[in-house]
Structure 1
Amino acid sequence: MAEIRIRNTEERIKGEENVRAFLESQEVLYEHWNPSKLPASLQNKFVLSDEEKAEILATFDEEIRDLADRRGYKTWDIISLSDATPNLDELLKKFENVHTHTEDEVRAITAGKGIFIIKGTDDVGYFDVELEAGDVISVPEHKPHFFTLMENRQIVAVRLFIETEGWIAHPYADPVFQK
């Protein structure tokens, strides 16, 4: 279940309803899908064949299509990252810079853990959203953020897009942000 850490105060927000309410106040969508729907053989697998990626998409097809219909997403895929990913550290350096997009950035975590660092309202500042299997988040367009892995360095997620070529990151220089 997702957990939030507000960086300025070290306050932690736990529990699905509390997380959802906080994120809603920050204009971020949060949902929770049932991760146990995924076959056991894929629940902790981070190097995936095309067939296994297709199986994950098929398993969550109803949830994906429901979210896509509600939010206007037109295409989706699977991203899988682990220490087996070529050039993982270089890839993470690219991810770990605050940026914005001209469309929502959506992740539905099916295995592993990840973290979004998001710029909240002025009274909140930056906050971390720690995600695990079943957590679904949509960071709205133009909201400064970045996504990275947690200490386990393993994640599988469904990504949804409005633009068929996917999103493009626009750097966001913010002197207030501290890693």
Structure 2
Amino acid sequence: MAQIRIRNTNERISDEAEVKAFLDKQNVVYEHWDINKLADPLREKYILSDEEKAQILETYDAEIRDLAGRRGYEIWDVISLSDSTPNIEELLKKFEQVHTHTEDEIRAIVSGQGIFIIKAEGEIGYFDVELEAGDVISVPENVNHFFTLMENRQIVAVRLFIEKDGWVAYNVDDPNFTKA
């Protein structure tokens, strides 16, 4: 289950209802998928063939189509990142730049862990949403944010897009952002 850390105060929110309430106030969609649906051989596997990615998409087809129907997504794929990913450091540099999108950025975590760093409304500043398998999050369009890996540096996630070009970021130079 997701946990939140407010960067300005280092306050942590870990109660599921409180996490959901906090994210709702920020217009961040937070849901949970049943990770037990995933076949055992695919759990905690971070180097995936195209066939294995297709199997993940098939496993969560109903959930994906439900989200797509509610929110207008047109395409989806699976991304897998780990220290075995070619050019992982260059990819992380690209992801770890504060940016926005012209559509919401949604990820359904299938394996591993990751963090979305999101700029809150009002005086809260930036907050971290620490995600694990089963967590589904959607950062609203035009909200400053970025994504990075946690210490284990492994994640598999389903990504959904409205734009046919997929992930298109617009970097933002925010003087209020400081790396933690």
Secondary structure of 1:24's partner? helix
**Which contiguous aligned blocks of 4+ residues in structure 1 show a shift greater than 6 angstroms?**
none
- Contact kept? 1:103, 1:167, Cα under 8 Å: no
Secondary structure of 1:68's partner? helix
Within a 5 Å distance, the mapping from 1:13-52 to structure 2 comes to 13-52=13-52
1:129-161 Cα offsets, whole Å, 9 max, x none, are 000000000001100000010000000000000
1:76-114 Cα offsets, whole Å, 9 max, x none, are 000000010011111101111100000010000000000
Q: Which residue of 2 aligns with 1:98?
A: 98
- Contact kept? 1:29, 1:139, Cα under 8 Å: yes
Q: What is the one-letter code of the residue matched to 1:38?
A: L
User: Which sections of structure 1, spanning at least 5 residues, go unmatched?
Assistant: none
Shift of residue 17, structure 1, vs aligned partner: 1.6
Q: Write the distance in 1 (CA, Å) between the matches of 2:16 and 2:61.
A: 23
Secondary structure of 2:90's partner? helix
Q: Count residues with an aligned counterpart.
A: 179
Secondary structure of 2:136's partner? strand
1:26-80 Cα offsets, whole Å, 9 max, x none, are 0100000111110111111000001100000000001111011001111100000
User: Which sections of structure 2, spanning at least 5 residues, go unmatched?
Assistant: none
Secondary structure of 1:157's partner? strand
Please, what TM-score do these two structures have when normalized by structure 2? Answer: 0.98
Q: Which residue of 1 aligns with 2:126?
A: 126
Identity %: 70
Given the alignment of the two structures, is residue 61 of structure 1 paired with residue 87 of structure 2, yes or no? no
Give the alignment's Cα RMSD to 1 decimal: 0.7
Q: Write the distance in 2 (CA, Å) between the matches of 1:49 and 1:156.
A: 12
